[in-house]
A and B are shown apart, each in its own frame.
Chain A
């Protein structure tokens, strides 16, 4: 996607055109915002892929995802935390998949929070595996939009960055770091 003298990923481009061109490669539905986040994890590629592919386990490191029900090898149902103890739900489909390398998904047509993206795993030699999440979503608009904005609580880019860091912590250390002192404090922070 980059020009001849620029190898930077399109998600980091200053040019709207570049980012739009990259968006086109993603889904048939037109969406507005593209974000990319990369983390290097000191574990083998196959292990990371396998953990991620079992979508029911994603809530262990995705803070705002309450539950993922796996309905079939390609269809899953997502239950995501919203303010006031409520939840927002949608179905997602695996649109493309390369064993050990890449999983792409898209929410179904009727989703309140249309989103799609892919997660890629590449070997990084001694350093383990480079994991890149690319996420496409509609910026919030209207009533539902405001709900979504609150639901994400923070900018999705930050949320994605934090989720990837927690994934790294879990894979590298077997646990997600917390600085809480007591269980009560930890639950308060997770709410």
Chain B
């Protein structure tokens, strides 16, 4: 089959590799019909995530048709399914508590040592996201092997397009969990850093959860425009001072809840950010954390901090004092996708959540390397790239 493989920083290729096979009873093989490139994939593309190996197949946002099932799978050949990016067994203690992204068993035993060393406990398994999280082949390919297929994949009802439901695999539940982690109370003002897919779904979710106002922050005009479409007020951090603007826009109080949907590659020439970049290039520190730093400082006293953004290592200059003195609460984590999928599928069917607005480009799998480059170089116009292995034309822009 053809698959998008990682070979190093800014080097991804479409290679011919062996087809996946059923290896465990609960496995299924899915023929991919749509798969997206995620902001998290850019972290791999930029070489920020350790434990990648040349030849690893990327992609954790995908859906398709069931073509083969193991004896323990509950799926049926021909079904259309969306697959969660988190690999969860459904039967461990954490899965029992619906903390699917903390599943004990999705990550193979030998891979759990690295997480144990780095984080104290092993990470769960994820598709196409380094060997820290299992080393599973991802879905930017023609076929993928899906373990625990009786627990993860959700069957798509008739009449829904791929484009409407694909984002159930990650970014829609992630935006939703981000808003949920902000413990929004009716009347709250919520500030969201980053108007990428995660930030934009967090904006929509925050309103659905009762926020009175949402203030979205970014520097890409097109992305800010999308946030405005959903009723958010916006701050362009290249034109305005974010902290000062937030204080003025919230009557001098600060936002009740802040959401960091940027992550470890924060853009912009802020003094602390530049120091982080120098340190990163000297291998002194790995994560640049401007956005979370600013979110904590801007948040009102007793407020809540939600951090869907991904961080991998150890950071310094984390405003621990502000965090303590203001009595803030922080919630974060990889998304427990399985927990949110059914409810969010309903929200899509009922038209409460808009998903297709996000897709700016659809292209064939063969064009995936180009898709990565475009997404990386032009985030203003490229909001989401969806790869279609069945597609023959190249690089069709939406609308």
Instruction: Pick from B23, B106, B125: contact of A186, CB below 8 A.
Output: B23
B91 touches A181 (CB 8 A): no
B112 touches A174 (CB 8 A): no
Q: A173 in the interface, Cβ–Cβ < 8 Å?
A: yes
Listed stretches A8-16, A20-28, A99-107, A163-171; interface member: A163-171
Smallest CB–CB gap between A17 and chain B, Å?
28
Within 8 A of B (CB), among A150-176: 158, 161-163, 165-166, 168-169, 172-176
**Docked CA distance A166–B107 (Å):** 10
Q: Which chain B residues border A168 with CB–CB below 8 Å?
A: 92, 104-105
Q: Which chain B residues border A166 with CB–CB below 8 Å?
A: 109
Q: A72 in the interface, Cβ–Cβ < 8 Å?
A: no
Q: A179 in the interface, Cβ–Cβ < 8 Å?
A: yes
Q: A3 in the interface, Cβ–Cβ < 8 Å?
A: no
A182 touches B25 (CB 8 A): no
Smallest CB–CB gap between B377 and chain A, Å?
31
Within 8 A of B (CB), among A173-191: 173-186
**Docked CA distance A158–B113 (Å):** 8
Q: B96 in the interface, Cβ–Cβ < 8 Å?
A: yes
A42 touches B96 (CB 8 A): yes
Instruction: Pick from A40, A128, A162, A181: contact of B21, CB below 8 A.
Output: A181
B18 touches A182 (CB 8 A): yes
- Contact count A vs B, C-beta below 8 Å: 82
Chain A residue at minimum C-beta to C-beta distance from B112: A165
Chain A residue at minimum C-beta to C-beta distance from B141: A181
Listed stretches B129-137, B272-280, B348-356, B386-394; interface member: B129-137
Q: Known interface pairs A178-B24, A186-B23. Does A173 touch B91 (Cβ–Cβ under 8 Å)? A: yes
Residues of B in contact, count (CB < 8 Å): 35
Chain B residue at minimum C-beta to C-beta distance from A128: B93
Q: Which chain B residues border A184 with CB–CB below 8 Å?
A: 18
Q: Which chain B residues border A183 with CB–CB below 8 Å?
A: 21, 23
Q: B39 in the interface, Cβ–Cβ < 8 Å?
A: no
Within 8 A of A (CB), among B1-53: 17-21, 23-26
Chain A residue at minimum C-beta to C-beta distance from B145: A181
Q: A-contacting residues of B (Cβ < 8 Å)?
A: 17-21, 23-26, 57, 72, 89-93, 96, 104-113, 125, 134-137, 145, 147-148
Q: Could you list 13 further interchain pairs (A-B, Cβ under 8 angstroms) beyond the known A158-B113, A183-B23?
A: A42-B91, A172-B89, A173-B26, A175-B24, A176-B108, A176-B109, A177-B105, A178-B24, A179-B111, A180-B23, A182-B19, A183-B21, A186-B23
